[in-house]
Amino acid sequence: MKVQTPMASLGGIVRRTEPLKTGDLIRQYLAELAQHHHLILSFARRDIRVKYKQTAFGVAWAILQPFSLMLIFTLVFSTLARVPSDGIPYPIFAYSALIFWTFFATSISQGTVAMVANAELVRKIYFPRETLILAVMLSTTFDLLIASTIFGGMMLYYQIVITWNLLWILPLLVLQIFFVLGVICVTSALEVHLRDIGHVLPLLLQLWMFASPVAYPLSLVPPWLQPVYLLNPMAFLIDSYRRVILQGTPPNPVQLALAIAVAFLLVSVAYLGFKRAERTFADVI
Amino acid sequence: MGDFDIRLDRVSKIYSLHRASSLRDEAGRLARRLFLGHDTPRERCTALSDISLEVRRGETVGLIGSNGAGKSTLLKILSRVTVPTSGQFWTSGRVGALIEIGAGFHPDLTGRENVFLNGAILGMRHAEIEAKFDHIVGFAEVEKFLDTPIKYYSSGMLVRLGFAVACHIDPEILLVDEVLAVGDASFQAKCLNKLAELKAQQKTIILVSHVMTNILQDSTRVLWIDRGTVRALGEPERIVEEYLESAQHGIAEVSALPQAPDPSPIRIRDVTIKDSWLRVSSVLEHGRPATIEVGYRALSSVSDPVVAIEFHDARGYPLGGLTTRLDGVKLDATREHGVVRLVLSPLLFTRGAYGVNVAIHDARIQRYLDFRPGATMFTVEGPGIASREVSGHVVYPHRWEVETSDAARDTE
C-alpha cells in the first residue's frame, strides 16, 4: 500500500513566476493536511498517553484543575467578594465558565510551544507543521470531555433545567476551536523565533481571563463598555456557554455574528501567515 | 518530468545568520517576515548555490564533499525539511530519509507505541504500519521488549528500532546519510543488505558517506559538492579520485560521523598532515619524511589508549596500518590534551591520493574509543603508476645490485 506523496506534482516548487491565488493556496494546504490526518491522530495519541502515563491521578487531573479553581473562585469571589452571578448558584456559575476557560487556556499554552517542544522533529523531518497544533487541540478536547463529566453531575445536583438550547454548545465549541487555532498559529510561529512568548503567555492568559466573564457575569460590565468588551470572542463565548447551559436561552445573534467574523478572519489570516513562517522553522528553531 | 525521479534546477539556499538583537528589532523584523514575506537584510551565509541535478529512476548517486560543503543542506531540501531560497526542484514519489533515524521517539512510550508514532511521522498510515509491524520488530530484534517504554532500551536497541521503521517506509526515493555506520557489525551487514535490496528494487538513492569504499561500491554516479556548488558530477572512480586528490583535504578534516553512542573518555580532536619541512600540507613528496599528527583530548583518564592510523587508496582499499601498541609506544592520557605524531621517514607511497583513518582503542584493542574513517587525505608527488616505472602503491625500501664480468660466473 502506498501513500500518495504530499504535493508530489508540486514537489517543492519555490518562487513560482505566477504566485498561487490565496484560495488555491489554502485549498492546497488543506489537501496536504488531509493526507496527514493519521499523523494528527498519532501526535494526539502520543500527547494524551504521555500526559497521563506517569501521573498517579491519571485523567483525574483534567477534572481537578477546573474543579479546584471553581472552589477557590467560589470562596474568593462569591463568599468573600460577593460577586453576583445572575441568580445562578455560584459554584456551577463558575464551573460552567471554568471548564471552557481551562480548555481555552491549556490549548493556547500547549499549542504555543507545540513547535518548540517538537523541535527535534521539526528540524529533521518534513510534515505539515499544523498537525502538531491540531494534535494539541485534540488532546485538550479530550481533557474537556473528561472535565465535563463532573459538570453533568453538578447540573443534576443544582437541578438545572435542560433545554434544546443546550445544543448550541456544539457550534460554540467549534467557534472557540477555530478562534484558538487562529491564536496558536500566530503564537507558535512567534515562539519559534522568540522564546519570550512562552514566558509572557501565562501572564497574558491571566489578564485575558479577567477580561472575560469567567468569575463575574457579563451583566456586571457597564453597557457603554460592552461593545469593546465583546470584541474579545472569549467574552462572548463564556457568556454564551452560560446562557445555553444554565439559562436555556440562545446566544445573542449580533454578538454571535461578530464573534464568527473575528474568529474566521483571524484563523484564515493566521493560517496563511503560519504556512509562510513554517518554511523557515527548520532553519531557525 | 520524464523519467527523472529527482530534478533540481538552480537550487540555492542562503541562511541568514542570527545575531542577538533587541526584542524590538526582532519583533519588527518578524512582523515584516510573517505578514509581508520579506525581511530586512542580515548577514548571510550561502549553503548551496545554483545546484542543478537530474537523477533517473533506479540510480544511486553518491554525494561527497568536505564537511560544511552543503551535503546535509541538499538532503534537507530534498526531504522538504527546509525550503530553498531560490530555484525549483521536483521529486516524484515518496521520499524516505535514513538520515535522522528514530526522530520523534518518545522515551515514555513503549516500543510498540513508538513504532506507530515514528511510522506515522515518516508518512506511513496506521494500516500500513500494522501490516509491516512484525517485519519491523523482527528486523529490529526487539520482540521481547515491545511493551517496555523505550527509555529502558539500550542505545543499540533504539538505533535498530529506528532504522527498522525507517527502512520499511517503502519510499521511491531514499536519502541515506552515513547511517551505515550505526549498530554492531551484524546489524550493519543487515543494513547493507537492505540497501542492496532497495537498490535491486530500482529505488532512487542518494547516498552520503565519508567512506569512499561505500560510495564506490554503490553509486552509479557521484556528485561532488564543494562550498555549496557542484564541483564535479559523473563516473564514480574518476570523481572520487579527483576528490581525494584535491588539495583542500590536507588540513585536518575530522569526519562528521555519528558519534559513538556512549560518551567516550577520549576523543580525536584533529588530524594534520605535515611535509618534510613540517609545514601543514596535503601534498607530500615520495621519499621524503612526512608526519601525521593526531591531536586528542582525554575527557577522563584512560589507561594506555592505543592510537591506530590506517591508510587506504583513493578507492578505499586498505593499504595497512600502524598502532602505537605495535611499536610499544605508551600514551599518557592522564593529562587532558595530547598529540601523537607518526613520522613516516621516508614516505614510501607512490604518486596518488590516499586517505587516512584514525582510531583510538582501549589498551587491548578490543574497543573503539573514537574512530574517524576518512579523517584526512593527502596526495603524493613522485614516481607513479602512470609512469609505468613502478606499480602499486608502495615502493619498498630497496636497492638493486648489478654485477658484471667477462668470464662466466663461478658457480661452484
Give A217-261 as a 3 state SS string: CHHHCCCCCHHHHCCCHHHHHHHHHHHHHHHCCCCCHHHHHHHHH
Residues in A closer than 8 angstroms to B128, CB to CB, are 1, 3
Q: Is the CB of residue A235 less than 8 Å from the CB of residue A229?
A: yes
Q: Which residue has the higher pLDDT, B27 or B138?
A: B138
Strands B368-381 and B283-285, how do they pair? parallel
What pLDDT is recorded for position A223? Answer: 92
pLDDT in tens, B216-272: 777 889 999 988 899 989 988 788 878 876 744 443 344 444 445 456 788 888 899
Handedness of CA B84, A268, B33, A108 (dihedral sign): negative
Q: What's the pLDDT band for A14 if we cut at 50, 70, 90? A: very low
Q: Do B90 and A193 touch (CB under 8 A)?
A: no
What pLDDT is recorded for position B237? Answer: 79
> Helices A169-193 and B23-35: crossing angle, nearest 10°?
120
d(CA A261, CA B319): 74
Residues in A closer than 8 angstroms to B37, CB to CB, are 276
Q: What's the pLDDT band for B22 if we cut at 50, 70, 90? A: low
- Model ipTM value: 0.79
Please determine, for residue B56, whether its predicted confidence score (pLDDT) is greater than 80.
Answer: yes
What pLDDT is recorded for position A85? Answer: 85
Q: Which residue of B has its CA nearest to A273?
A: B34
Q: Is the CB of residue A229 less than 8 Å from the CB of residue A212?
A: no
Contact status of B76 with chain A (Cβ, < 8 Å): yes
d(CA A91, CA B313): 81
**R_g of chain B computed on alpha carbons:** 25
Taking residues B128-136, what's their average pLDDT?
A: 92
* Percentage above 90 pLDDT, chain A: 55
d(CA A233, CA A211): 11
Three-class SS state of B294: strand
Question: Given A14, A120, A279, which is nearest B103 (Cβ)?
Answer: A120
Taking residues B32-43, what's their average pLDDT?
A: 63
What is the tally of helices (H) and strands (E) in chain B? 8, 17
Total length of chain A: 285
**Burial of B377 (C-beta count, 10 Å sphere; 0-12/13-18/19+):** buried
What pLDDT is recorded for position B386? Answer: 44
Q: Do B109 and A42 touch (CB under 8 A)?
A: no
Taking residues A186-193, what's their average pLDDT?
A: 92
Q: Give the CB-side neighbour count of residue B330, counting CA atoms within 13 A.
A: 5
Q: Is the CB of residue B93 less than 8 Å from the CB of residue B171?
A: yes
Q: Do B117 and A45 touch (CB under 8 A)?
A: yes
Average pLDDT, chain A: 87
d(CA B197, CA A119): 33
**Which of B11-15, B251-255, B361-365, B404-408 has the highest mean predicted lDDT (pLDDT)?**
B11-15
| Residue listed under C-alpha cell 554516479 | B221
Taking residues B72-77, what's their average pLDDT?
A: 89
List all residues of chain B from 23 to 42 with a beta carbon under 8 Å from chain A: 23, 26-27, 30, 33-35, 37
Residues near B130 by Cβ (< 8 Å), separated by ≥ 6? Answer: none
d(CA B248, CA B231): 13
**Burial of B45 (C-beta count, 10 Å sphere; 0-12/13-18/19+):** exposed
Q: Is the CB of residue B146 less than 8 Å from the CB of residue B138?
A: no
What pLDDT is recorded for position B252? Answer: 37
Q: Which residue of A has its CA nearest to B10?
A: A14
Give the distance from residue A266's alpha carbon to the nearest chain B alpha carbon, in angstroms. 13
Question: Given A42, A53, A273, which is nearest B120 (Cβ)?
Answer: A42
pLDDT in tens, A221-272: 999 999 889 889 999 999 999 999 999 999 999 999 989 999 999 999 999 9
Question: Given B30, B97, B103, which is nearest A193 (Cβ)?
Answer: B30
Q: Which residue of B has its CA nearest to A53?
A: B108
What pLDDT is recorded for position B253? Answer: 42
Mutate to test the interface with B, among A7, A10, A14 (most CBs of B within 10 A): A14
Contact status of B106 with chain A (Cβ, < 8 Å): yes
Count CB-CB contacts under 10 A for residue B133: 17
Residues in A closer than 8 angstroms to B108, CB to CB, are 49-50, 53-54
Q: What are phi and psi of B281, to 5 degrees?
A: -160, 155
* Percentage above 70 pLDDT, chain B: 82
Q: Is the CB of residue B383 less than 8 Å from the CB of residue B350?
A: yes
What pLDDT is recorded for position B315? Answer: 62
d(CA B67, CA A104): 47
Q: How much of chain A is helix, strand and coil, in % rounded to 5?
A: 75, 0, 25
Q: Which residue of B has its CA nearest to A37?
A: B125
pLDDT in tens, A26-85: 888 999 899 889 999 999 999 888 888 777 777 788 888 888 999 999 999 988 988 888
Q: Is the CB of residue A244 less than 8 Å from the CB of residue A168?
A: yes
Sheet with strand B229-234: strands edge to edge = B95-98, B173-177, B204-208, B60-64, B221-226, B229-234
Q: What's the pLDDT band for B183 if we cut at 50, 70, 90? A: low
Residues near A199 by Cβ (< 8 Å), separated by ≥ 6? Answer: none
d(CA B217, CA A170): 61
What is the pTM (predicted TM-score) of this model?
A: 0.71
Average pLDDT, chain B: 81
pLDDT in tens, B321-358: 899 998 888 888 788 888 999 999 889 998 778 889 89
Amino acid letter, B42: R
